[in-house]
Structure 1
Amino acid sequence: MTSITRRQFVQAAASAASVAAAAGWPLAAQAQASVSLRLSSSMVADENAAHYVWFQRLQANLKAAVGDSLKLDYFPNNQLGKEADVVQQVKVGSIDMMITGSSIWATVAPELGMLDLGYLFDDYGHAARALDSSVGASLNQMLQKRTGCSILTWASHFGARSVYTKAPVKSLADIKGVKLRVLPTPAFIETFKTMGAVPTPIPFGELYMAVQTGVVDGFEHDAGTVLASKFNEVVKSCWQTEHLFSPMVVVIGKRGMDKIPANLRPAFLKAVADATQQQRSIAADKSRAAVEELKRLGMSFHPMAATERNAVRKQMESSLWAGFAKQHPATAPLFSAISSARG
């Protein structure tokens, strides 16, 4: 067996350290054992899926910052279970992180349900201004208090949510009595009751089959998700209500956060923030591209009339928004802050 002298060993170690430093990796990170975080998503691993695009940016940012000291094990397409079950697993720590819409976390922190109220935001720029400031910070504190979990960031889905149906829907009159899949949160359910539809909660992973078999007549979602999940195979019409600029939220459990060594947390949080800025800049282009591709594949699009949009928004504000603030008083100042964040 070949042996080396102590001097040779020290020289080799110094050389390896120099390589790590030249690569921009913190030496402390190199010395630590690698930490892996389990990250769950309900969406497919596709470039048209908002979750996956954000994950890719985070993964690249982490690799550049800390090398292999902190890794992500990504589980798309509900591989770790339905979203409602994953929420509970993030709480107890069997799953570390979750990318999802804010809606599902309203099942354990109902104040977050305000973000699902129809016509709350004008666009994703408005949503970002509000959620990156006091509104997002307050909602995070509420979630931490109730669950111990923390909101790492608010990103964007690929466009506003609109109504997709088998048969064309072009007005409030047409939506009356139409069975639409919605998430199982009061805000979603009440929004569509107000609009005259029949809201029907169904897990995302069961949606394709539910539409195909006629359990529901359609659903509401964003164009990028419709394209990525091939929902255009079962619906052919979109009523562009743009009723919701739904924020994408990334949540980490307490045990997940505790796994990250203290000296790596600043780099991790910066990688998260950078991934969000990168993903937001991609989202608008992805949304437009998804709509054009859906049109090419045979989907028809029908803009909501401005008069109907204004009428519904006023109705939402006077009934649902006011009622929500009364039921959850801590959200009352947040509605005002959201209004102040309008451009």
Structure 2
Amino acid sequence: MRTQVGIIGAGPAGLLLSRLLTLQGVDNVVLENRSREYVEARIRAGILEQHTVDTLTDAGLGDRLHREGLEHHGIYLQYPGTRHKLDFPELCGRTVWVYGQTEVTKDLIKAQLDGGPPLLFEVSDVTPEDVDSDSPRIRFTDAEGNPQVLECDVIAGTDGFHGPSRAVVQQGSPGRTWERTYPYAWLGVLADAAPATDELIYAWHPEGFGLYSMRSPTVSRLYLQVDPSEKIEDWSDDRIWDNLAKRFALDGWELTTGTITEKSVLPMRSFVSAPMRRGRLFLAGDAAHIVPPTGAKGLNLAVADVTLLASALVRLLTEGRTDLVDSYSDRALARVWRCTHFSWSMTSMLHRSGDDFDAELQLSQLRRVCSSEPAARELAENYTGLPLDV
């Protein structure tokens, strides 16, 4: 097999990269070790920055997003007795959209299989080789068990934290990794319950953080801060709803309940790996960085990565110019660290940990954001999405 760009991983990063390259006339093949059914069922993030929405729309993937997605003009910050709205258009002129990563993936796969470049599911033993040369290759075993070799000009590793690409990059350079594990987790639930709020609610509470989100006019997505050691089987539906009602409690407002259809405990951590390139192998998305979900940055960072990478690869493969691929890692990491800091700051401001001294510091910061236009604007600009080059 021969192509220009071999893409490892059919998550949103790999599929969007394939789409952007295809629109610019660059041949590519996408390899995925899971089945299509598994990939389309993965429950992940649901908040899309303005740039992400614009990128998907410009790539011809915005029809269902604009039809079924929910545009949001702000968020609520809450602490006991107070719920304050940050108006994003007023503060920074942008909005965000609620549209699940699962739905983004479905749209990308449908476009890929509808006359797009090859997308091979259920491959195994994927191994990037000769990435320091101008003729790298990917060895893999196809779904029928046959050994294959994909010859290419460039390899894109969009295969997540556990994929083979990051290890290859780290082995070939004096790379570094940074990691922060947070002392709490999220218990997340999907419920057949109409949202009782027009915007997302980020709630600080003495017993722990709560997030009220939604997936549609009839489905809510809610989260509770819990200890990482918590077992999901210890949380009955009634216990979950009781804790959610307590953390979102506000005079004159009532939580809408319903049937919980999915629940899980999600660990919280930050991870950054540098560089994001070795020779002709480039990393994007979770293969290079992970952020806690508080700042809604994971999927959006992946989209920013592949937008930068697509432009760089098009210039390399169609013009022979290396300036953008040479600067890709530094440019991407500058934005990654800015978003990692924002995710850390949101997480630190809203999650209960430490003693009462720490709690008063958190409340002081929340009051500052809710009363200061410059502080609120800083949060709004980061939340709705920074420029690609920061």
Q: TM-score, normalized by length of structure 2?
A: 0.24
Larger Rg computed on CA atoms: 1
Structure that is richer in strand per residue: 2
Q: TM-score, normalized by length of structure 1?
A: 0.27
Structure that is richer in helix per residue: 1
